[in-house]
Amino acid sequence: MRAQDDEKLYDDINITPMLDLAYVLLVIFIIMTTASVQGIKVNLPKASSSASLAKPKTKAVTINSNGDVFLDAYPVTLTDLETRLRTAKATEPDFPVVVKGDATVQYQRVTDVLDLLRRLDLNQVGLVTGKADKT
């Protein structure tokens, strides 16, 4: 009977491994949420609702406030943009394109890019906007 009295019943749960897992998940969450997309910083126009085309094969055409055109953060001319998009369309015919135009850029510059996309018969085109101020 002495052996049974000396055995201590463990009714406490050891939460140290659970806390280790929670800290690891917290660090992973912080790293993933602070990772930013590489690109050109532009002042986006505001819209009441915005939809995101977050697909891995999406091409981003950016027009900054000076009217310079970028394809996936690389500066291009309109003829260069047409050549690169034709090449991309030859490899994958139905890829989405998002156009990010600065709010202060000339409207004609954005229209030129959209006209180019129409001539290339790219149908999945989206315009990126910022969120509207809630006033």
How many angstroms separate the CA atoms of 80 and 57, rounded? 19
| pLDDT at residue 37 tops 60 | no
| Whether residue 110 is found in the same domain as residue 69 | yes
Q: Are 18 and 53 in contact (CB under 8 A)?
A: no
Q: Do the domain assignments include residue 75?
A: yes
Residue 85 lies in domain: 46-131
| pLDDT at residue 113 tops 50 | yes
How many angstroms separate the CA atoms of 28 and 115, rounded? 42
| Whether residue 25 is found in the same domain as residue 50 | no
Residue 79 has a pLDDT of 92
| pLDDT at residue 9 tops 80 | no
Binned at pLDDT 50, 70 and 90, residue 56 comes out as very low
| CB neighbourhood size of 92 (10 A) | 9
pLDDT tens for each residue of 17-32: 888 999 999 998 888 7
| Whether residue 72 is found in the same domain as residue 23 | no
Domain count, the chain: 2
Q: Do the domain assignments include residue 54?
A: yes
Domain of 67, CATH number, reads 3.30.420.270
Alpha helices in 1-135 (DSSP H): 2-6, 16-34, 78-91, 107-119
How many angstroms separate the CA atoms of 80 and 73, rounded? 14
How many angstroms separate the CA atoms of 134 and 17, rounded? 44
| CB neighbourhood size of 4 (10 A) | 6
How many angstroms separate the CA atoms of 81 and 70, rounded? 8
Q: Do the domain assignments include residue 40?
A: no
As a whole number, the mean pLDDT across the chain is 80
| pLDDT at residue 55 tops 50 | no
Q: Do the domain assignments include residue 41?
A: no
Residue 107 has a pLDDT of 83
| Whether residue 123 is found in the same domain as residue 97 | yes
Q: Do the domain assignments include residue 104?
A: yes
The predicted model scores a pTM of 0.56
| Whether residue 9 is found in the same domain as residue 73 | no
| pLDDT at residue 96 tops 80 | yes
Binned at pLDDT 50, 70 and 90, residue 53 comes out as very low
Q: Do the domain assignments include residue 39?
A: no
| pLDDT at residue 66 tops 80 | yes
| Whether residue 115 is found in the same domain as residue 52 | yes
